[in-house]
Amino acid sequence: MAKVIGLTGGIGSGKTTVANYFEEMGVPVYIADDGAKRVMQSKEIIEEVKTAFGQSIFDGDVLNRAKLAQIVFNDKEELAKLNNIVHPAVKRDFESWMLKYKNYDYVIYEAAILFESGRYKDCDVIITVTAPEEVRIERVIKRDQTTREQVLSRMKMQWNDEKRISKSNFVINNNNLKVAKEEVVKILKILKIKQNQS
């Protein structure tokens, strides 16, 4: 079975860019956010969300993601409630995705809240992507057309870099794309050597 590399980092750190580099190097990548969007379209999960948060976050039968985000990113208890619905479903989605790639040496599981969700326990190796806070804030404002305040409130809900790094095997500083790409190549070389030794 393929070993799982957990790839994480705070909002705006550039995890997806780094994940794309791994993909270019032939490593299959699972993006937990995309998995969450997929499972959130299933009738069963939508019903659970409706029961937990009420009809007010729906426009007819369609989930209003912005309304839901407004609730969960301002209240840790509400966020935990949503995570308890979504995370088990994403775990199942990932496990079925893994079956397609079981003959690979490694796969990437990319998740912003790898540690917060407890999913890091299922990973063989963990990589944290970092970038200076101001760079991250600017990236997210530009990407999500959002405000500085909203970005900071989302950052507050996540672990800080020091905490992530203390539990990681590798750290990629994504301030410079060329250097970040070189780090990916270096990490894969190290993992290959370790694998050959085991």
Binding residues for ATP: 12-17
In angstroms, the first-to-last Cα distance of the chain is 15
Rounded Cα gap, residues 178 and 98, in angstroms? 30
| C-alpha dihedral sign at 36, 38, 39, 41 | positive
Q: Residue 64: what residue type? A: N
Q: Which class for 4: exposed (0-12), middle (13-18), buried (19 or more C-beta within 10 A)?
A: buried
Q: Concatenated DSSP letters for 56-90?
A: GGEETTEE-HHHHHHHHTT-HHHHHHHHHHHHHHH
Annotated binding-site ranges = 12-17
